[in-house]
């Protein structure tokens, strides 16, 4: 290929980060090649999952209306699971569903396929079914990619190849991923009629619920997620693989046990599992990001760059991926020459509030890593409720004494203080 | 009650795979695996594709979900080659 056939940008991976980047670059008249290893964009991707809509609005106002999104989330639910009990907080906020709804549940196969097609409609060249083998380097600069026999050249290569970024490693920007950086997510798509979903989750029309739970991972760091889709729910667990390995119980079996939990089984009763997926998740936020997000001729976006925020109540990834793709596109558009793209990308990440958000939540994973969060505290919450709601004809213990006893059964006051202090410091 | 535990085999049977016959994307050196005491792969693979057969680690790449957990967890580096399947091969999620 001669120099004048060179692309302005080659993007590796047609997930939300890659497609957002391709969409904006193509719209602004840049020549873009979007390479995807799946038969279709999205066929290799798995999410929990939900999408915070603002990110699509940043790419182009109103874009979300065309997207194959599932349900707009108006119910945010948190569960603490005991062995045969559950404390559930159900926060319904119908303002979340008004005007531009704040977030939607999403399935990645249809969503990613749609987004890549949108980028294609703007003029990006989308090549699916192609695995990128190597980066091409000349004089210390990344100048293109090699896929099988084919070599393709560009001013800048954008690595949007996901959490397990082999391209980031080939570029020397990422080390081997270590187990403490990631969670393993496993998920079943369980088909259920929409009227059943609406009745069980107290929804009407296209409203949706997003539910997270702690206390379901047998003490391993992690939690459950359950999202209502159109005609299905996504039920899964994300947890730390290192701790899971030490406990010796198969990851897949912990999910099966969760399905049988008396507080979960009725939600999926009558459902038919249609698909089983697994994926890694960047879990530790800022501290899991590579020191540098770019080298000469290449920038990393999305999961490849480690963009993820998990506060225990909200989990963000797709929105951050889209914003980072937009940031990379803006940088390419602004840059006078290829060498300027990396530093401009970092500036864009600040300007679009992505890095400031990553820094704000930098310590939160430490709260979520406290081992007692996954067994003792959920059990404590359930025991406290059990005491308050038990009526058996006997004279109950005094509330204050009973509560002290319940707390003491699960944690020492030293542990409480230590966790409280650790939590405070992590904020 | 219709809800039931399902085995990994049953669950993988629901997925769509295009197997690249004769081209495993994950390659093991079983002699290294033999010396590995922990063998975390037996527990952490969501598809339960690592099994012990006659004391030897056995791996079937056909049902791989391409998550990368084994790559991250393999401490003794018995996995000597880990790549994604060639383009169009491997799992194709219809929901994701």
Using the Cβ of A47 and the Cβ atoms of chain B, whether some distance falls under 8 Å is answered with yes
pLDDT in tens, A202-223: 999 999 999 999 998 888 888 9
Residue A2 has pLDDT above 70, yes or no: no
Of A37, A182, A259, the CB nearest to B87: A37
Residue A3 has pLDDT above 90, yes or no: no
CA distance A414 to chain B (A): 33
Instruction: Quote the CA–CA distance of A281 and B46 in Å, as a whole number.
Output: 14
Q: Which residues of B touch A252 (CB under 8 A)?
A: 8, 11, 46-48
Q: Calculate what percentage of chain A has a pLDDT beyond 90.
A: 87
CA distance B13 to chain A (A): 9
Instruction: Quote the CA–CA distance of A304 and A292 in Å, as a whole number.
Output: 12
CA distance B74 to chain A (A): 10
Residue ranges with strand state E in A230-293: 232-239, 272-282
Whether B44 and A251 lie within 8 Å, measured CB to CB? yes
Of B72, B92, B96, the CB nearest to A39: B92
pLDDT in tens, B62-91: 999 999 999 999 988 999 999 999 999 999
pLDDT in tens, A286-330: 999 999 999 999 999 999 999 999 988 899 999 999 999 999 999
Whether A166 and B83 lie within 8 Å, measured CB to CB? yes
Instruction: Quote the CA–CA distance of B1 and A391 in Å, as a whole number.
Output: 29
Q: What is the dihedral of CA A74, A80, A86, A91, to 10 degrees?
A: -20
> Are A102 and A7 in contact, with CB atoms under 8 Å apart?
no
Q: Which two tokens stand for residue A181?
A: 């950086």
A425 confidence band (pLDDT: 50, 70, 90): confident
Of A128, A244, A277, the CB nearest to B65: A277
Q: Which residues of A touch B8 (CB under 8 A)?
A: 250, 252
Residue A99 has pLDDT above 70, yes or no: yes
pLDDT in tens, A243-268: 989 988 899 999 999 999 999 999 99
Whether A265 and B3 lie within 8 Å, measured CB to CB? yes
CA distance B10 to chain A (A): 10
**Residue A117: Cβ within 10 Å count:** 16
Comparing CA positions, the residue from A49, A65, A69, A47 lying closest to residue A57 is A65
CA distance B70 to chain A (A): 9
Q: Which of residues 216-245 of A touch B (CB under 8 A)?
A: 232, 234, 241-242, 244-245
Residue A390 has pLDDT above 70, yes or no: yes
pLDDT in tens, B21-69: 999 999 999 999 999 999 999 999 999 999 999 889 999 999 999 999 9
Q: Can you give the three-state secondary structure of A184-212, one letter per residue?
A: EEEEEEEECCHHHHHHHHCCCCCEEEEEE
Query: What is the residue-wise DSSP string for A281-301?
Result: EE-SGGGGS-S-SEETTEEE-
**What pLDDT does B18 receive?**
96
Instruction: Quote the CA–CA distance of A393 and A207 in Å, as a whole number.
Output: 43
How many pairs of residues across A and B have Cβ atoms under 8 Å apart?
Answer: 161
**What pLDDT does A4 receive?**
53
Which of B15, B87, B92 best tests the A interface by mutation, with the highest count of A CBs <10 A? B87
Residue A357 has pLDDT above 70, yes or no: yes
**What pLDDT does A1 receive?**
47
pLDDT in tens, A178-203: 898 999 999 999 999 999 999 999 99
Mean pLDDT of A214-236: 92
pLDDT in tens, A63-96: 999 999 999 999 999 999 999 999 999 999 999 9
| ipTM value | 0.96
């Amino acid at each position: 290929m001669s120099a004048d056939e060179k692309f302005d940008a080659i993007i590796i991976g047609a997930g939300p980060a890659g497609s957002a980047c391709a969409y904006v670059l193509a719209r602004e008249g840049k020549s873009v090649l979007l390479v995807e290893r799946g038969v279709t964009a999205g066929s290799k991707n798995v999410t929990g999952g939900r999408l915070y809509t603002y990110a699509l609005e940043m790419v182009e106002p109103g874009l979300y209306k065309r997207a194959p999104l599932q349900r707009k989330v108006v119910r945010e639910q948190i569960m603490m699971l005991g062995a045969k009990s559950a404390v559930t907080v159900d926060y319904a906020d119908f303002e979340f569903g008004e005007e531009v709804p704040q977030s939607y549940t999403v399935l990645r196969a249809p969503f990613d396929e749609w987004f890549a097609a949108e980028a294609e409609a703007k003029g990006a060249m989308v090549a699916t079914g192609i695995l990128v083998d190597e980066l091409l380097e000349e004089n210390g600069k990344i100048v293109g990619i090699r896929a099988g026999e084919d070599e393709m050249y560009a001013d800048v290569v954008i690595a949007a190849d996901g959490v397990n970024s082999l391209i980031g490693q080939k570029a020397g920007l990422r080390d081997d991923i270590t187990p403490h950086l990631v969670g393993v997510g496993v998920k079943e798509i369980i088909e259920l009629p929409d009227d059943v979903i609406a009745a069980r989750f107290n929804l009407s029309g296209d409203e949706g619920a997003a539910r997270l739970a702690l206390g379901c991972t047998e003490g391993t760091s992690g939690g459950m997620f359950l999202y209502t889709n159109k005609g299905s729910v996504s039920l899964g667990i994300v947890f730390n693989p290192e701790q899971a390995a030490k406990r010796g119980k198969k990851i897949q079996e912990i999910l099966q046990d969760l399905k049988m939990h008396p507080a979960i089984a009725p939600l999926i009763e009558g459902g038919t599992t249609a698909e089983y997926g697994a994926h890694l998740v960047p879990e530790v936020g800022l501290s899991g990001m590579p020191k540098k997000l770019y080298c000469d001729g290449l920038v990393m976006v999305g999961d490849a760059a480690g963009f993820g925020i998990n506060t225990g109540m909200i989990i963000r990834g797709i929105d951050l991926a889209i914003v980072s793709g937009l940031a990379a596109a803006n940088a390419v558009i602004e840059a006078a020459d290829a060498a300027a793209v990396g530093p401009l990308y970092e500036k864009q990440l600040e300007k679009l509030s992505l890095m400031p958000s990553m820094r704000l939540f930098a310590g939160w994973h430490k709260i979520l890593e406290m081992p007692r969060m996954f067994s003792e505290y959920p059990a404590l919450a359930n025991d406290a409720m059990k005491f308050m709601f038990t009526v058996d004809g006997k004279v109950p213990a005094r509330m204050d004494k009973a509560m002290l006893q319940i707390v003491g059964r699960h944690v020492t006051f030293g542990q409480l203080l230590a966790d409280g202090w650790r939590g405070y410091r992590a904020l | 009650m219709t809800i039931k535990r399902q085995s990994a085999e049953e669950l993988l049977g629901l997925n769509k795979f295009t197997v690249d016959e004769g081209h495993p994307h994950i390659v093991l050196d079983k002699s290294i695996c033999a010396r590995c005491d922990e063998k975390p792969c037996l527990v952490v693979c969501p598809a339960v594709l690592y099994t012990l057969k006659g004391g030897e680690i056995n791996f079937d790449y056909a049902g791989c979900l391409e998550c990368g957990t084994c790559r991250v967890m393999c401490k003794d580096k018995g996995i000597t080659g880990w790549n994604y399947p060639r383009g169009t091969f491997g799992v194709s999620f219809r929901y994701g």
